[in-house]
């Protein structure tokens, strides 16, 4: 099983996530997000020994100029949440040698098939409606998702429901708000509890 935690703070959260062997550490570059990081904080990331963790730059329609100025030295992956086309993904991948995570918003079953447009993406992230308030509807969606190490699921995942989601065939989880007590601030105990639950389920 693989885990990605998104919306991390470069100074507060990174060492904990590395120590817990979390696979993907996501940093948000989107001014409208409460988790948007200050560009001056990027340099902090170079101070860490990432070990087996990969840093992910979470973006929306990034320009070449933004990628070149801010991402190339510290990030192995770029996550794309905007209107990026297949051609744009191919361009970013070839020009900058970055691995691609393409996010797809899934509200209806027909949305799932959009992933077939992005065959060159290294990971597809299916962003689904919240599962805790309305489990039956997302369950129907999750059953129709392609399964495998290159398909991740996001949407109100927590230590309380991850076991049920695993039973639906998912093994790659992306979390953010459910690991916070207040908007934009990760609760380290919640992170530890989730990873402990994942390790328990692995065994």
CATH of domain 2-202: 3.20.20.70
Give the tens place of pLDDT for each residue, 41-57. 999 999 999 999 999 99
**Per-residue pLDDT reduced to its tens digit, 53-105:** 999 999 999 999 999 999 998 999 999 999 999 999 999 999 999 999 999 99
Domain parsing of the chain, residue ranges = 2-202
Average pLDDT of every residue of the chain:
93
Give Cα 85 distance to the centre of its chain.
Answer: 19
pTM: 0.94
Length of the chain (residues): 203
User: What is the C-alpha to C-alpha distance for residues 186 and 176, in angstroms, rounded to an integer?
Assistant: 8
Residue 69 CA from chain centroid, whole number = 22
């Amino acid at each position: 099983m693989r885990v990605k935690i998104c919306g991390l703070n470069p100074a507060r959260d990174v060492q904990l996530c590395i120590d817990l062997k979390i696979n993907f550490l996501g940093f948000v570059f989107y001014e409208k997000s409460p988790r948007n990081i200050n560009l001056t904080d990027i340099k902090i990331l170079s101070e860490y020994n990432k070990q087996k963790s990969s840093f992910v730059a979470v973006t929306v329609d990034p320009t070449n100029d933004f990628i070149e100025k801010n991402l190339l030295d510290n990030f192995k992956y770029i996550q794309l949440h905007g209107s990026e086309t297949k051609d744009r993904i191919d361009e970013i991948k070839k020009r900058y040698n970055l691995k691609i995570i393409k996010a797809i918003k899934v509200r209806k079953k027909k949305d799932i098939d959009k992933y077939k447009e992005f065959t060159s993406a290294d990971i597809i992230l299916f962003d689904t409606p919240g599962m805790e308030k309305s489990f039956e509807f997302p369950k129907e969606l999750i059953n129709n998702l392609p399964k495998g190490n290159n398909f991740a699921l996001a949407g109100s995942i927590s230590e309380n429901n991850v076991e049920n989601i695993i039973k639906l065939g998912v093994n790659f989880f992306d979390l953010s708000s459910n690991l916070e007590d207040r908007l934009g601030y990760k609760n380290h105990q919640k992170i530890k509890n989730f990873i402990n639950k994942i390790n328990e389920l692995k065994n």
